[in-house]
Amino acid sequence: MDDNELSGMIAGHVAIVTGGASGLGEATCRLVVAEGGRAVIADIQDDKGRALAAELGEAAVFEHVDVTSEDDISGVVDRTVERLGRLDCMFNNAGIVGAVGPIDEMPLDEWQFSMDVLLKSVFLGSKHAARVMKPQGHGLVLATSSVAGLQGGLGPHAYNMAKTGIVGFTKNLAAELGPFGVRACAIAPGKHATPMNADVVFGDPEALDRSVQYFTERGTPLKGRPGLAGDIAEAAVWLMSDRAGFVSGHTLVVDGGLTTGSREGAEPGGGRFGSHEPLLREGGRRGIDPR
């Protein structure tokens, strides 16, 4: 089989992808559909989400979902099962950079807002997915952690706390849901060219080409290879598939070797996260105008 040939490895599967309108989530929705599945694009960026759903056709639908709202999460799970008859994967992926700056200057409300988007969201998505997957007898609860949840110095404090929490919670969830035939996994991306990182590096979420170039030259020990959104989509779709049917409780690191200890990736407490700036809440993302 050609390396790039699609195999229909998740034919008929239904996946809800939070943060599905952009970056890693968008790439995952595209691959879910390409591999024969159906994708529910759950996001607060309505225009981008609707445009993606229109492009992907009948196998995709957009739903406005704020991942900090239990009603929104519960609603999208219920509507998905009503409409499509099943839920094979709940991908709790939406995220923001969140509160930045030194710990002694971090306002509590900015920390709390960040934890709500990054961690409460994973609790809510897992809770309502489990509610339908347990009686269904199968499914995957998947979340996006980060290399910043595996090592210090790779992200701001609230981000680190949330992403570390996801790694531990994934193991606990796997232990609880395994007897029901339901798996739980996480993915820890490294540094990937997405709107979030384009904003961090260049202050412009649209600067994707420049980000690809930037991450080709630095960020991992892997020569000449930037982290792309598609790398995480590949990992996510493999984890959704039966080929990963014995993988549970695991956080799959997809980082080009960044966490091997290479000096390339580390920015201890520095870079764009070193000084406090007010948290931009609109659209849920730091520094990004959702329009």
Binding site for ligand NAD (CB under 6 A): 18-19, 21-25, 43-45, 65-68, 93-96, 117, 144, 146, 189, 191-192, 194-197, 284-285
Q: How far is the CB of 246 from ligand NAD (least distance, A)?
A: 25
Is the CB of 136 or the CB of 216 nearer to ligand NAD?
Answer: 216
Instruction: Classify 60 in phi/psi space as left (phi over 0), alpha (psi -120 to 50) or beta.
Output: beta
Instruction: Tell me how far, at minimum, the Cβ of 110 lies from ligand NAD, in Å.
Output: 14
- Alpha-carbon Rg for the chain, nearest whole angstrom, is 18
- Residue with Cβ nearer ligand NAD (12 or 278): 278
User: How far is 148 from 65, CA to CA, in rounded Å?
Assistant: 25
Q: How far is the CB of 245 from ligand NAD (least distance, A)?
A: 24
* CB of 96 or CB of 173, closer to ligand NAD: 96
To the nearest whole angstrom, how small is the minimum distance from the Cβ of residue 149 to ligand NAD? 8
Which of helix, strand or coil describes residue 290?
A: coil
Note whether 156 and 111 are within 8 A (CB): no
Measured from the CB of residue 48, what is the shortest distance to ligand NAD in angstroms? Answer: 7
For ligand NAD, give the closer residue by CB, 38 or 285.
285
Taken as a whole, the chain contains a residue count of 291
Q: Kindly tell me which of 180 and 202 has the beta carbon lying closer to ligand NAD.
A: 202
Which entry of 159, 169, 214, 273 is annotated as an active-site residue? Answer: 159
C-alpha to C-alpha distance for 100 and 118, rounded to whole angstroms = 14
214 is catalytic: no
Please give the C-alpha separations between residue 277 and each of 15, 102, 157, 287, in angstroms, as whole numbers. 36, 10, 14, 10
Q: Could you tell me the smallest distance in angstroms from the CB atom of residue 23 to ligand NAD?
A: 2
Nearest to 51 by CA among 66, 36, 65, 62: 62
List the alpha helices (DSSP H) in the chain: 23-34, 46-56, 70-84, 108-115, 121-136, 157-177, 195-202, 208-217, 229-240
In the bound state with ligand NAD, the residue whose beta carbon lies nearer, of 66 and 176, is 66
User: Half-sphere exposure (CA, 13 Å, Cβ side) for 208?
Assistant: 8
Cα distance between residue 283 and residue 98, in whole Å: 12
Instruction: Select from 107, 126, 112 the least CA-distant residue to 174.
Output: 126
Active site residues per annotation: 159
